[in-house]
Amino acid sequence: MASTTAELRGRTPHKNKSRNPSQLGSLEQAGLFLKNFLRHPLMLGSAIPSSRYLISRVLDQVEWPQVRTAVEYGPGVGTFTRPILSRLSRNANLLAIELNTDFADLLRSDTADPRLKVAHGSCADVVHWMREHQLGQAEFILSGIPYTVLDPGVRQKILTATRNALCDEGVFVVYQYTRAVLPDLQQVFSRVEDDFEPLNILPARLFFCRK
């Protein structure tokens, strides 16, 4: 994956290097997302960012005043990241972990909000990234990464690490296009509730997981 991301970095158009996600218009964000999907279809798993309906369905179910540490896996161009920041308390933090170099660079350049910490790497290392940013266990972890294409060992590693990163009352929310990941979630978490959002390309399955 390292050579893939290095290759991506080399091809980043200059005009995007100096602009952060909040400066990109929604059409430009969609273009950057599509460009990266064409290069790395398995890493992204989708050609189009999540819809506002999916964002609301997930984020409206979170008790934001209770959240001190939020973590997002696979923020992409920040589609969920900005709505999370708009709901997050002033003294809370959001750690966004992104494997793709273009997306991590874009998010990292968004220095306007000190609550946002960006890690460029895999969410399998979530505990390491949380320690690096001196964050306590998370009340909320959101995952938008494509589990079905992952090696089963990596999938297991991510889910086990997530359980360790989550506080006892915390919730881990997964959105996917199929229910294929459900048995893996049920092996690691004692409570898994599901939900569905039709107004998304593709319609999304949601899983709310608790320890």
Ligand X SMILES: C[S@@+](CC[C@H](N)C(=O)[O-])C[C@H]1O[C@@H](n2cnc3c(N)ncnc32)[C@H](O)[C@@H]1O
Residues that bind ligand X (CB under 6 A): 43-46, 49-50, 73-76, 79-80, 97-100, 103, 122-124, 144-146
Contact yes or no for 116/91 (Cβ under 8 A): no
Least separation in angstroms between CB 121 and ligand X: 7
> Which of residues 68 and 125 has its CB atom nearest to ligand X in the complex?
125
Residue with CB nearest ligand X? 74
Count of all residues that appear for the chain in the document = 211
> Which of residues 103 and 140 has its CB atom nearest to ligand X in the complex?
103
Among candidate residues 127, 61, 60, 63, the one with its CA nearest the CA of residue 92: 63
Sign of CA dihedral 8, 9, 15, 18: positive
> Which of residues 107 and 171 has its CB atom nearest to ligand X in the complex?
107
CA atoms within 13 A on the CB side of 137: 13
Both structure tokens of 117: 């910490």
Least separation in angstroms between CB 72 and ligand X: 7
Contact yes or no for 189/210 (Cβ under 8 A): yes
CA atoms within 13 A on the CB side of 126: 30
Least separation in angstroms between CB 42 and ligand X: 8
Least separation in angstroms between CB 145 and ligand X: 4
> Which of residues 49 and 170 has its CB atom nearest to ligand X in the complex?
49
Contact yes or no for 121/35 (Cβ under 8 A): no
> Which of residues 50 and 93 has its CB atom nearest to ligand X in the complex?
50
> Which of residues 90 and 121 has its CB atom nearest to ligand X in the complex?
121
Separation CA 33–CA 25 (nearest Å): 12
Least separation in angstroms between CB 157 and ligand X: 10
Number of H helices, E strands in the chain: 10, 7
Least separation in angstroms between CB 43 and ligand X: 5
